Amino acid sequence: MIKSLDDRITLNNGTKIPGLGLGVYQIPDEATAKVVADGIKAGYRLIDTAQIYGNEAGTGEGIRQGLAATGLKREDIFVTSKLWNNHLTYDQAIAGFESSLNKLGLDYLDLYLIHWPGNHAVKDAYRALQDLYHAGKIKAIGVSNFEVHHLEALAEFATVVPVLNQVESHPRLNQNSLREYAKDKGIKIQAWSPLMQGQILNDPTLKAIADKHHKSVAQIILRWDIQREVLLAVKSVRPERLASNAAIFDFALDTDDMTKINAMNRDFRVGPNPDDFDF
């Protein structure tokens, strides 16, 4: 279990990833550089973007600004991007990766993910990711929004086990069965939308636990994820929220707290269902 923003978790290929990072979903490209630079200055070492976000250029500029302001080196920052659904042939996947790398202005990516499984349409794209990984252009490869059956299908042809599966996860969708399957295969789970896009911040159960610990509901949810060994990519655009989201290492949830939050699961999604998502 991580104990600071700088703490890292070892993935199945030996690569180490920060347990809590900054996501930039839905941040306009022109605003992203400041957010990312602020995040790095606030101690964040994982930056998560994607081809479809349209802000890889701003993300790269923010990384450069953050490094300049802190004196850190490129290898101190872990950068993730993702391949979108219209780049799933082998050649398209290679081109998509090169485009992302160029927009970010980087020499390599720490992690590259296939964004959605589609109708099990990712075989050629994953083969491209494997080749990029073996060529040293990506430190680790993985997937996003894969259900158990998608991971099972991937395992039938993949020669590189994905290090990570980034999925929607929050107290109303705790993904326990997927987490158990992934753990057995050595695949880490990373949560997107861990705060349920803000829709759960007024929940009375969570508010009672927050009052008990003198913390915010958001801090309680993020701490819950940390204690159940779920990696996090959390979006925030305000410096004060960046700091607040990171202030989760000075307290612990007890067994009763964890049991109450675990019981909130309803298998409810705020994002698309991977089995129904229309390519």
Cα separation, 30 vs 53, in Å, equals 12
Which of 44, 53, 126, 181 is the catalytic position? 53
Q: Which residues contact 126 (CB under 8 A, 6 or more apart)?
A: 114, 141, 143, 154, 157, 158
Catalytic residue flag (residue 53):
yes
Q: Which two tokens stand for residue 195?
A: 């705060």
CA-based Rg of the chain, rounded to a whole angstrom? 18
Q: Which residues contact 268 (CB under 8 A, 6 or more apart)?
A: 172, 173
Task: Tell how strand 8-10 and strand 16-18 pair up.
Answer: antiparallel
Cβ atoms of 89 and 61 closer than 8 Å:
no
Residues with catalytic function: 53
